[in-house]
Amino acid sequence: MIIDKQKIGLERALELKERIIDYLAVKDKIPTGTTKKDIINENKERIKKIYNCTEEQWNDWKWQMNNRITKVETLSKIINLTEEEQKDIMIIGEKFRWALSPYYASLIDPNNPEDPIRKQAVPHALEECDQLGKDDPMGEEFTSPAPNITRRYPDRLIINVTNQCAMYCRHCQRRRNIGELDVNKTRRQLEPALEYIRKTTEIRDVLITGGDALMLSNKSLDWLLTELDNIKHVEIKRLGSRTLVTLPQRITPELCEILGRHHPLYINTQFNHPQEITEDVYKATDLLTRAGIPLGNQAVLLKGINNDPHVMKKLNHELLKVRIKPYYIFHAKAVTGTSHFITRVEDGIEIMEKLRGYTSGLAIPTYIINAPLGQGKTPILPEYQVSQSKDSITIRTWEGKTIKYPNK
């Protein structure tokens, strides 16, 4: 009997397409920064008129920082707020600082209270209602062996260099450090951290964060990275920054020229929704990747923003288009004022189930729960090993089929 292999292949292709028919039906309805570019540009022009600013000023990251939106009066000119919402923002602002760049504000649908960008940027009454969160659920103050150091692992650590960000995310894990003033650490303040690293020879990986590492000046970044370059046992440096999301104007040719002097250097950022990936992001990532800097994304699983398998898949696809590797999906931490963002763990597992096999491996991050009190990142995976005997294991494939596999 002659087997028609192509016919079998075509039947299998149809079967595979059926596996993602639900995603294909909705993927083009999920907003991205590029599909909404006309609306974003309209918002941008409207905000420019409010500020009476030029295109050159808009594209200057320092202008963006100097003109962050911090007052309800200004915000209400940009997005539609009810009187009750305005009152709530003022009340929350007394307890939790807020600010967003004009650029990030331009991504918000002014008429949609459920807009995923608005939820991340604009204070909500639910922040005041939180009875579950803790100021420091990670216990960072107990994992600091030297000033401005956080160390939770054997061979790597964090240097906290600033409390400043282009936008103060409503789900921020370090909102306790924000304060009322933006303060970058001085060289004198950072020297004890560098001395600790010099003396601790098992440290091979240093993450510079805060706050946002790219809130440091070019000169300060160059100095700090040079100091780390001169420590023989430090193999790689990483920068933690959300400016790619909230202030892509920060990524300038001058910055990239400086960063390009300090390889191997990596940048991890935090995109949480495909609407955040705009044409400005394309320009910024192009500059960074041409400077040889690998980019990774650490999304946070947030209720009402991205706790949907299709939205998360679309986000990961859009990230790869701008050459950012999806790296982690973090389960949201129970930080004071943020509990309304926390999902059930099942949401994260369902997302992982709908990624593995359903899309390319490059588009699959690791779902992580940060164990309380600084006990480290714990990967949470769907169960693919069903059982195990002496000579075999039974595995479940991404399609749900069970297969006995030899284990010799």
pLDDT tens-place string over residues 342-351: 999 999 999 9
* CA–CA dist 55, 70 (Å, integer): 21
Same domain, 150 and 59: no
Same domain, 221 and 309: yes
End-of-domain residue from the set 93, 123, 153: 123
The verdict on residue 161 lying in a domain is yes
Q: Is the peptide bond before 211 cis (omega within 30 degrees of 0)?
A: yes
Same domain, 206 and 289: yes
Same domain, 203 and 352: yes
Same domain, 277 and 226: yes
The verdict on residue 310 lying in a domain is yes
CB 185 within 8 A of CB 148: yes
The verdict on residue 103 lying in a domain is yes
Query: In terms of DSSP H, where are the helices of 99-156?
Result: 102-105, 116-121, 126-129
Query: In terms of DSSP H, where are the helices of 141-264?
Result: 187-199, 218-229, 243-246, 253-259
Q: Helix-strand-coil percent breakdown of the chain, rounded to 5?
A: 45, 15, 40
* CA–CA dist 226, 262 (Å, integer): 7
The verdict on residue 250 lying in a domain is yes
pLDDT at site 179: 65
CB 332 within 8 A of CB 338: yes
CA 256 from chain center: how many Å?
20
Same domain, 265 and 201: yes
The verdict on residue 392 lying in a domain is no
The verdict on residue 59 lying in a domain is yes
CATH code where residue 303 lies: 3.20.20.70
pLDDT at site 198: 98
Same domain, 39 and 168: no
Q: Which residues of the chain have pLDDT under 50?
A: none
Same domain, 263 and 318: yes
CB 133 within 8 A of CB 141: no
Per the structure, the count of domains in the chain is: 2
Same domain, 217 and 249: yes
Which amino acid is present at 56? Answer: E
End-of-domain residue from the set 61, 90, 123: 123
pLDDT at site 50: 97
* CA–CA dist 21, 183 (Å, integer): 50
* Predicted TM-score (pTM) above 0.85: yes
pLDDT at site 127: 87
The verdict on residue 6 lying in a domain is no
Structural domain harbouring 65 = 33-123
Same domain, 348 and 298: yes
The first and second tokens of residue 297, run together, are 């994304």
The verdict on residue 333 lying in a domain is yes
> How many other C-beta atoms are found inside a 10 Å radius of the C-beta of residue 134?
14
Q: Which residue has the tokens 């023989």?
A: 232
402's enclosing H/E stretch is strand 402-406
Same domain, 179 and 87: no
Same domain, 228 and 151: yes
